Amino acid sequence: MNQEIVYADRTALIVIDMQYEFVHQNGAIYVKQAEEQIPLISDLINYCRTKGIFIIYTKVIWNDDSEVPKSLLKGMPFKFEANKKILRRYLDSKPNLMVEIHEELKPKDLDYLVGKKYFDAFYNTNLDATLDKISKKNGKTIENLIFTGTTINNCVYSTMLGASHRNYKTIAIKDCISGFPGEDLDFWFNRQMPNFLGTVVLTAEELKTKIK
C-alpha cells in the first residue's frame, strides 16, 4: 500500500483521545509529545477535510469509579485513585472540561465523536455503527482508517488491532501518534504495526501525496 493511492471517499481519519487530560500540562495523564503534535494533527485534520475524508474523534469518559477498567486501577494505582476523578464526566456535579478534545482539534459539525471506556475504540461503542453510517451515507464502503492520537501502546494500537480484525486497512501517521516518555516508538512503527497488522506507516506529508 506504500505505493497505492488512498481514495478519500473510502477513508476515515481517526483522532484518538486528544483530550485535555492527556495534552495539557495540568492533565493527570499528561503526554508531552501529544501536546507537541497538536499543530501537526490539526493541519492534517484540516487537509483531510478539504479532501472529503471523514473525521472521527474518540474520547475516554467515565461516569463513576465502576466504569474504570480494573486493569488500569491495578496497573496504575498512583494515577487512578478514586479521589483524582480522572476522565470523569462530572466533577462536583459540574462538567469536567479535562475530558474535552483540545480546542485546536475540536470536532466540527460534519465530524463524528465516539465515546469509549476501554483502550479499543471498537469495544462496546458505536464506532462500528458510525463507520457503517458513513458508508451508507457516502454510497461507498469505508476501507481505510488513518490513525493519529495518543498513546501508541494503549488506545492507538488497541483500536488499530480492532480495525484489523474488521478487515480495515490501517495507516499510522508516525509524526501524529505519541507515546509516554521512554516508549520505544520505533518498535511499534517499524515492527509491531507493519509485521502484525499489515499497517502502512507514513508521515503526515507522505500521506498527503497519496490521497486522491
Residue 2 cell numbers, joined:
506504500
Domain 8-62+100-208 falls under CATH 3.40.50.850:
yes
Predicted confidence (pLDDT) at residue 29 exceeds the cutoff of 50: yes
Which among 29, 203, 38 has a CA at the least distance from the CA of 119? 29
pLDDT 10s digits, 60-83: 999 988 888 887 777 776 666 655
pLDDT 10s digits, 92-137: 889 999 999 999 999 999 999 999 999 999 999 999 999 999 999 9
pTM of the model: 0.95
Decide: residue 180, CB within 10 A, 0-12 exposed, 13-18 middle, 19+ buried: middle
Phi, psi of 202 (to 5 degrees): -135, 160
How many CA atoms lie within 13 Å of 102's alpha carbon, on the beta-carbon side? 26
As a whole number of angstroms, the distance between CA 196 and CA 34 comes to 25
| Helix (H) and strand (E) counts in the chain | 9, 8
As a whole number of angstroms, the distance between CA 182 and CA 168 comes to 30
CB 198 within 8 A of CB 170: yes
Q: What is the pLDDT, as a whole number, of residue 1?
A: 46
Mean pLDDT of 168-186: 97
